């Protein structure tokens, strides 16, 4: 399934709300929390991560992966948390509205 851009941002923010993670970790986490509905390819993952970092929502740092490899870890900034809350609310409104629209006969 293809993702709307805003949706991917929201999913990344959500994945990181639990703690810091590296790129592959984020991709796997998104798969997990969407129960495999979304597979995140690096071609969309990394541009999104860098864009969000530039926007000030994410902060990155270098660390050791579980297998002693150097990996870049991302976590939410304060602005990122606010963004997550704002986008969640927007998404709630949209999904309710869309669901209502589809149920209408």
Partner 1 sequence: MSVLSRTSSLVRNLLRRKHVEADLDEELRGYVALLAQEKIRDGMNADDARRAALIEAGGMERVKDDVRDARAGLLLETTAQDVRYGLRMLARSPGFTTAAVLALALGIGANSALFSVVDAVLLRPLAYRDPGRLVVLLHNGRNPVAPANFLDWRAQAHAFERMGAAEAWSANVVGGDRPEQLRGLRLTSDVLPLLGVQPLLGRTFLPRDEEAGHDHEIILSYGLWRRSFGADPSVVGRMIALDGEPYAVIGVMPKEFQFAPFWATHAELWAPLPLADRATDRGDNTLRVFARLAPGVTLAQARAEIATITARLEREFPGTNGGVTVTPLKDKVVGDVRPTLLVLLGAAGFVLLIACANVAHMLLARSAARQKEVAVRTALGASRSRMIRQFLTESLILALAGGVAGLALAAIALHALVALGPGNIPRVNTVGLDSNVLAFMMLVSLLTGIGFGLAPALQASAPDLTGALKDGARGPSDGVHRNRMRSVLMTSEFALAVVLLIGAGLMIRSVLAMQRVDPGFNPENLLTMTVSVTGSAEAEPHHRAIFFQQLLHKVQSLPGVQSASAINHLPLAGDLWGYHFHVEGRPIPRPGEAPDATYRVVFPGYFRTMRIPILRGRGITEQDNRNAPAVVVINQWMADRWWPGEDPIGKRITLGDPEHPVWLTVAGVSKNDVQHDWVAPPSEEIFLPYLQTAEYMDGSSSHVSYMTLVVRADCAPSGHACDPAALAPAIRGAVWSFDRSLPVSDVQTMEQAVARSTAEPRFTLLVLAAFAGVALFLAAVGIYGVMSYSVSRRTHEIGLRMALGADRGDVLRRVVGQAMMLTLMGSAVGLAGALLLTRLMSGLLYRVHSTDPLTFVAVAFLLACVALVASYVPARRATRIDPVEALRQA
Q: Does 50 bind partner 1 (CB under 8 A)?
A: yes
Q: Does 43 bind partner 1 (CB under 8 A)?
A: yes
Neighbour order of strands in the sheet with 58-64: 21-22, 70-76, 58-64
Q: Does 93 bind partner 1 (CB under 8 A)?
A: no
Rounded Cα–Cα distance for residues 80 and 56 (Å): 7
Contact with partner 1 (CB under 8 A) among 17, 23, 33, 38? 23
Q: Which residues, at least 6 apart from 12, have a Cβ–Cβ distance to it below 8 Å?
A: 26, 30, 45, 48, 49, 52, 58
From 8-16, 30-38, 44-52, 94-102, span contacting partner 1 (CB under 8 A):
44-52
Q: Which residues, at least 6 apart from 16, have a Cβ–Cβ distance to it below 8 Å?
A: 26, 58, 74, 75, 76, 80
Q: How far is the CB of 97 from partner 1 (least distance, A)?
A: 20
Contact with partner 1 (CB under 8 A) among 6, 18, 19, 24? 24
Q: Which residue ranges make up the site for partner 1 (CB under 8 A)?
A: 22-24, 41-44, 46-48, 50-51, 54-56, 65, 67, 69-72, 79, 82-83, 86
């Amino acid at each position: 399934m293809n993702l709307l851009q805003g949706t991917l941002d929201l999913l990344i923010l959500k994945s990181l709300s639990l703690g810091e993670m590296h790129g592959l970790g984020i991709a796997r986490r998104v798969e997990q929390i969407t129960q495999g509905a979304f597979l995140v390819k690096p071609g969309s993952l990394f541009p999104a991560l860098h864009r969000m970092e530039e926007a000030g929502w994410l902060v990155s740092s270098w660390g050791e992966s579980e297998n002693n490899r150097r990996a870049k870890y991302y976590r939410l900034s304060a602005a990122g948390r606010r963004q997550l809350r704002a986008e969640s609310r927007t998404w709630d409104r949209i999904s309710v509205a869309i669901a209502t629209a589809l149920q209408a006969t």
